[in-house]
Amino acid sequence: MTTQSSTLKRIKKDEILDMEKRFRANFINSISGFKSVGLIGTISKDNTTNLAIFSQVFHLGANPALMGFIVRPDVSPRHTLENIEATQFFTFNHINESFYKQAHQTAARYEREVSEFEATGLTPYFEEGFVAPYVKESHFRVGLKLEEKHELSINNTIFLIASVQEVILNEEIIEKDGYLDLEKAGTITSSCLDSYHTTKRLDRLLYAKP
């Protein structure tokens, strides 16, 4: 049995609970590591577009093609969730280095009648036959349809499961085996609640076998 290096600090649950609220939020939001971050585009029944940044979006399965994301407790108006429930459709747009500050600004609590596209200077783009708006500035866009909604009792968050309807991307990032070179696409990542990062791939390794 090995012991931890003396340079590492062990922080136990009681100490975490004693942390100041905002400090604890930043601390805990950082421990899961770098996150997938993107803009979710929706539209209301009265045709008001909505755009919100999310870092709780993840791959759920390839067959069928599914993605999931978490919506925080409904303690204030959740225009994104309401629009998805109303129309069933939404978009997930990768963020590029060229507009990450505008993407971050979509987290502000705008009034329902205000479109975050207009407020942040980003451009809504509609594909024929798909109701939800994409972000024109994004180089990688995914169209999704809501399939399931689950309320998680442990912290009152909402888990949405969506099926992939279409993917819009530059063909140059598709490699022979289906791997998508996100670095070439210019996709950025995030950590905590307000830190954004570019990436540098170390390597692609062979399929692991015993």
Residues in the chain: 210
Q: Which residues pair with 72 in a beta bridge?
A: none
| φ, ψ (nearest 5 deg) of residue 29 | -70, -15
CA-atom Rg of the chain in angstroms: 19
* Per-residue CA distances from 39 to 96, 139, 145 (Å): 11, 12, 15
Average pLDDT per block of 10 residues along the chain, 210 residues long = 75 98 96 96 96 95 97 74 96 98 95 94 98 98 98 94 98 97 97 96 94
Identify whether the C-beta of residue 127 lies closer than 8 Å to the C-beta of residue 89. no
**Rounded Cα gap, residues 26 and 109, in angstroms:** 19
Question: What would the pLDDT profile of 17-30 be if each residue is shown by its tens digit?
Answer: 999 999 999 999 99
Q: Which domains can be identified in the chain, with CATH numbers?
A: 35-197 (2.30.110.10)
pLDDT for residue 73: 72
pLDDT for residue 49: 97
* Per-residue CA distances from 106 to 12, 14, 31, 170 (Å): 34, 34, 24, 25
Question: What would the pLDDT profile of 105-136 be if each residue is shown by its tens digit?
Answer: 999 999 999 999 999 999 999 999 999 999 99
Q: What is the pTM of this model?
A: 0.93
Amino acid identity of 56?
Answer: Q
pLDDT for residue 6: 72
**Rounded Cα gap, residues 123 and 109, in angstroms:** 19
